[in-house]
Amino acid sequence: MKKLFVSLFLALSFLRSSADEGMWLPLLLGEQVYNDMVKRGLKLSKEQLYSMNKASIKDAIIIFGGFCTGEIVSNEGLIFTNHHCGYDAIASASTVLNNYLKDGFYAKSKSEEIPSAGLYAEFLLKIEDVTAEVEAQAGTLTGTDRINKVNEAIAAINKKYSDESKHIIARVSSLFKGNQFLVFVYQRYSDIRLAGAPSESVGKFGGDTDNWEWPRHTGDFSIFRVYMSKDGQPANYSPENVPLKPKYFLPVSIKGFKDGDYAMIYGYPGSTNRYETSYGVKQKVDTDNPTLVKLRDMRLKFMFEEMKKDPAVKLQLASSYASIANYWKFYDGESKQLVRYKIFDQKKATENSFQQWANGKPEFESLFKDWEKAYAQWQPYSKHRVYINEGIMGSPLLAYAASLQSLENAMVKSGNSSDINKALAGASEARAGFLKNFNKISDQNIIGQVLQMYYNDVDKNQHPIGFFENIKATTGDLREDGTFKKFAAALVSGTMILDEAKWKAFTEHPDAVTLQKDPAFATASAFLKNWTGKYVTQFQQFSSKNAELGRLYLKGIMQKDPVKAKKMYPDATFTMRVSFGNVKSYQPRDAVKYDYVTTMSGILEKYVPGDYEFDLPQNVLEVARKKDFGQYMDPIKKDLVVGFITTNDITGGNSGSPVLDANGNLIGLCFDGNYEAIGHKIAFDKDLNRTICLDVRYLLWCIDKVGGASNLIKELKLVK
């Protein structure tokens, strides 16, 4: 009986599916957290996780391009990251004839690797606590004064720790909402080359339908290599450069794993706001998210219409489309989950209990009253702000036109010819970049629709004075769609930005009036100037108040519960974190259980020939149908495992992060979060949160059996 009881208990605790909140700073991994990791199965010492003196796992983890994570997997600087992280580089390397995005690409030798301008890898050299230094500067200042002083102190520290000649870049990160400051020192390598990518129908399999969802079958990987100069230093691209010799690289395990096994993720989570207030939640759900989603919906529709028609346009717009779509679905889902799980009420309850503690403590007593007031003052303008960022600036043409304000300033305010020439050269260079990926029809449609939506949706008292009256006078009735379409058509055909001859004439004889009369510039600047002139100060005041109150709130929380404070992790700030948990199945809703892995059989089930999202390339189909999985086959599932889920805590920026087993071997790449817990930036769901990962064995199978690039496989240290 007792034995039965014990084994029942073990079975139950094994089935326990709760997620593992926490994005820990490897530098400050307290004994408690480390012990928890060991209890969960970790077999490594603290020194092996993070060390200042010896090579450790942290040395294999890179910031990829400034927006993703990557990991070094060979002694010759080979990088694994996600397909959606390499997407822009892959699309840029592609032409309609050599379409690597569509057909995939595997370099059979280093000489075939493709330089990817603009990409870089940053290695973390060290982390130091500089809180005392910053606090000494800030003293007892509050509000904007404090923010300015803190920023000054941070700039000085960054400068002190950076060394341009060695490509060393330091960035202070403000943690716990400004209660702690750490400086992160990186070394940047800028010669990055594309070494491999699957066909997009593998790398983005399931498209936006499957994005943010489990069960998932996406082969979301791409492969790059980092190069250094012959004398071992970071360097810009040169054919003379040689592959980087890393301090450490990750061994790759093809042994497989089971439900419940330990999983650890290193990487660069971008941002979370787990201490968001009830006011913030309300504003997001009521105003900010729905406005963003509505505007993105519209932009995506017009872009997609043109992408469908022409493969060249598809290549031009694909990367920007993917990133707009990604957070369109995210914010839509976030609102829904915040409502469904009553996060507003939960936050209110936490705030009420904080208030009880704060009563009688002058520093904290009026915190929430002040917060309520700050939100009430800002609320009337918040929709307008989304319209500027996601609407007006959501048109590539208007966004480029808006950037010409610095040229206008040089002409009107400075008038100095060297300033003007510099601004003009910058504008022409930016214009060339802008035109490369510009599609006229979709943008004209976007401009017409954005102006109409703004007119109907933004408080009339906040409109730029005279702008819509002018459309009415020159173009037609503002209640009619046709008026806005006509206005947009005239804008696009009349702007010198899209007319080589006119642009040339302007750059030869630049004058402010010509610029100011340009319809694209005039439109962009009417909205921008109205916004910056009248409302930006409100936003800045709100932001600094919000930051100040946030800092106090966190300070209060840590005072209120000092024991818990010892085991608190800071919100994500795009700094290196480690999270731990387990591979784990879950129950998304009543009567439904999601398995911990997906397989090749599932890919074939989802396959729809010719579909935009669920098509597959012929070579993948052939090898898959033959079940030629070789050493990559999973011993439990007797199939090729494609994806898996873990209980780890990650967010955007972690894309491409390595998933490691208890011994620190690479078992996968994390690439997404699940829909049921998509409110994770604001509220981590202890039951439902899962990280969606690509099994490294599927990645290797693609390189080896589909791509035939055994040269890449040979570089790896496989653990069998």
Binding site for ligand ARG (CB under 6 A): 84, 204, 207-208, 211-212, 322, 325-326, 652, 655, 671-672
3-state secondary structure of 170: strand
Q: How far is the CB of 94 from ligand ARG (least distance, A)?
A: 17
Query: What's the rounded Cα separation, in Å, for the pair 577 and 571?
Result: 10
Q: How far is the CB of 677 from ligand ARG (least distance, A)?
A: 13
Query: What's the rounded Cα separation, in Å, for the pair 414 and 409?
Result: 7
Q: Which is nearer to ligand ARG, 196 or 333 (CB)?
A: 333
Q: Which is nearer to ligand ARG, 91 or 254 (CB)?
A: 91
What residues contact 427, with CB distance under 8 A and at least 6 apart? Answer: 403, 404, 406, 407
The HSE-up count of residue 303 (CA atoms within 13 Å, CB side) is: 23
For residues 698 and 219, is the Cβ–Cβ distance under 8 A?
yes
DSSP structure string for 632-663: GSBTTTTB-EEEEEE-----TT-TTPEEE-TT
Query: What's the rounded Cα separation, in Å, for the pair 585 and 221?
Result: 23
Specify the length of the chain in residues: 720
Q: Which is nearer to ligand ARG, 332 or 672 (CB)?
A: 672
Query: What's the rounded Cα separation, in Å, for the pair 579 and 556?
Result: 26
> Catalytic site residue 84?
yes
> Catalytic site residue 167?
no
Q: Which is nearer to ligand ARG, 390 or 518 (CB)?
A: 390
Q: Which of 17, 20, 59, 84 is catalytic?
A: 84
Q: How far is the CB of 361 from ligand ARG (least distance, A)?
A: 41
DSSP E strand boundaries for 130-253: 168-175, 180-189, 191-197, 222-228, 242-243, 252-253
For residues 600 and 629, is the Cβ–Cβ distance under 8 A?
yes
> Catalytic site residue 655?
yes
3-state secondary structure of 356: helix
User: What is the SS3 string spanning 36-62?
Assistant: HHHHHCCCCCHHHHCCCCCCCHHHHEE
Q: Which of 649, 655, 661, 704 is catalytic?
A: 655
Q: Which is nearer to ligand ARG, 207 or 556 (CB)?
A: 207
Q: How far is the CB of 326 from ligand ARG (least distance, A)?
A: 4
Q: How far is the CB of 68 from ligand ARG (least distance, A)?
A: 8
Q: Which is nearer to ligand ARG, 146 or 690 (CB)?
A: 690
Q: How far is the CB of 218 from ligand ARG (least distance, A)?
A: 7
Q: Which of 191, 210, 220, 443 is catalytic?
A: 220
Looking up tokens 């926490």 gives 22
For residues 694 and 643, is the Cβ–Cβ distance under 8 A?
yes
Query: What's the rounded Cα separation, in Å, for the pair 312 and 187?
Result: 37
Tell me which DSSP letter residue 496 carries. G
Q: How far is the CB of 614 from ligand ARG (least distance, A)?
A: 12
**Which among 191, 196, 266 is positioned nearest to 715, based on CA atoms?**
196
Q: Which is nearer to ligand ARG, 37 or 315 (CB)?
A: 315
Q: Distance from first CA to last CA of the chain, Å, rounded?
A: 41
For residues 371 and 277, is the Cβ–Cβ distance under 8 A?
yes
For residues 80 and 669, is the Cβ–Cβ distance under 8 A?
yes
Q: How far is the CB of 337 from ligand ARG (least distance, A)?
A: 15
Using CB atoms within 10 A of its CB, is residue 589 exposed (0-12), middle (13-18) or buried (19+)?
Answer: exposed
Catalytic residues: 84, 220, 655
